[in-house]
Amino acid sequence: MKIGLFTDTFYPEINGVATSCLNLQRELTRRGHDVHVYAPKCKGWEENQHENVHYLASAPLLVLKDRNFAFPTPLTSWEAEKIDFDVVHTNSEFVMGMFGHHVAGSLGCAQVHTYHTVWEDYTYYITHGVADETARKITRKYSQWWCNRFDRVITPTGKTLDLLRKYGVEAPIDIIPSGMDIARFDPARHDEAERLATRRECGLPEHAPLLLNIGRIENDKNGYRYYWDGITPSVAVLIKAIDHERMAVAEAYGVEILSAEEWLRQSYDTYGDNLYDLIHHNNAYADIKSPATIEARYVTEDVPMSLVPISELARIAGVSTPNIDAVIQLTSSIYQRDFRAEGRCAKNLGIEGMSKAQVTHFFETGER
Q: Cα–Cα distance between 300 and 141 in angstroms, integer? A: 48
Tell me the sheet residues that pair with 89.
5, 112
Our CA angle for 305, 234, 232, nearest 5°, is 85
Distance of CA 174 to the CA centre of its chain: 23
Query: Would you state the torsion angle of the CA atoms of residues 122, 128, 134, 138, taken in this order, to the nearest 10 degrees?
Result: -30
Q: Cα–Cα distance between 256 and 273 in angstroms, integer? A: 22
> Digits of tens for pLDDT over the chain (368 positions)?
999 999 999 999 988 899 899 999 999 999 999 999 999 999 899 988 888 999 999 998 776 666 788 999 999 999 999 999 999 999 999 999 999 999 999 999 999 999 998 898 778 767 777 888 899 999 999 999 999 999 999 998 888 899 999 999 999 999 998 776 767 666 677 776 776 666 555 544 445 554 555 555 555 556 678 788 888 888 888 899 999 999 999 999 999 999 999 999 988 888 988 998 999 998 888 878 877 777 777 788 889 999 999 999 999 999 999 999 999 998 898 889 999 999 999 998 889 999 999 998 888 887 87
Under 8 Å between Cβ of 95 and 8: yes
Q: Cα–Cα distance between 226 and 324 in angstroms, integer? A: 21
Note if the pTM is more than 0.85: no
Query: Would you state the torsion angle of the CA atoms of residues 268, 167, 148, 160, taken in this order, to the nearest 10 degrees?
Result: 30
